[in-house]
A and B are shown apart, each in its own frame.
Chain A
């Protein structure tokens, strides 16, 4: 049982390039989330999904898109990367039906945009 995994672990992009971060979970969780972590700011929610085929915006969605084509996968896309998107990105999943449920996190992806 791997839990939540993220690919890649590290990535360096040039401004304007695009990329996709992959999150996978094997716990059969319905709900999945993407956060970004910046120094001194804690974690901020980018987008989330309450089930296969659904997505919703979080606190800081601009510049990102997401897709949940399969229950176990949640993709985060950057269409035109900007230096302000340099951050550590975390994916999480939870089993239940509300924000009260515990979220389980992946190991993170460190992204640098030059």
Chain B
């Protein structure tokens, strides 16, 4: 069965600190997809990134970067020089990429990040 674990329930940092949010996944599929979503205090879910299992290159987008390591089944998310606007709940999610009779999108329980000024 597929599973996503976000062991960090809540993280607090001071502005300008770097912070890494951990995501560990379990799957038997050789093809799978990983996602990160952000849920700011306003409540909506904002898509951040999608990565397939064949692409282990790290990705950087501004202050955001993602480290995908198949050897440790992890897809960690780092925010560099954090800002107050980064305060949110962040969800990692996994899908097998199969058809709609089999796979589903499985979410972790989320990590609440609080950035203090």
Whether A58 pairs with B91 at a CB distance below 8 angstroms is no
For the complex, what is the distance from the CA of A50 to the CA of B100, rounded to whole Å?
A: 8
Per-position 1/0 for B1-39, Cβ under 8 A of A:
000100000000000000000000000000001010100
Tell me if B104 counts as interface (CB < 8 A to partner A): yes
Whether B103 pairs with A99 at a CB distance below 8 angstroms is yes
For the complex, what is the distance from the CA of A48 to the CA of B107, rounded to whole Å?
A: 16
> Interface residue tally of chain A, by bracket?
20 to 34
Tell me if B52 counts as interface (CB < 8 A to partner A): yes
A42-B91, A45-B104, A58-B104 given; A99·B96 CB < 8 A: yes
Tell me if A12 counts as interface (CB < 8 A to partner B): no
Interface window among A20-28, A63-71, A77-85, A102-110? A102-110
Q: Which of chain B's residues have a CB closer than 8 A to the CB of A108?
A: 43-45
Q: Which of chain B's residues have a CB closer than 8 A to the CB of A106?
A: 44
Q: Between A and B, how many residue pairs show CB distances below 8 Å?
A: 62
Question: For A48, A88, A90, A102, which residue has the most chain B Cβ atoms within 10 angstroms?
Answer: A102
Tell me if B47 counts as interface (CB < 8 A to partner A): yes
Which residues of chain A from 30 to 69 have any CB-CB distance to chain B below 8 Å in the complex? 31, 40-45, 48, 50, 56, 58-59
A98-B99, A100-B33, A100-B95 given; A43·B107 CB < 8 A: yes
**Chain B contacts to A: CB under 8 angstroms:** 4, 33, 35, 37, 42-47, 50, 52, 91, 95-100, 103-105, 107-110
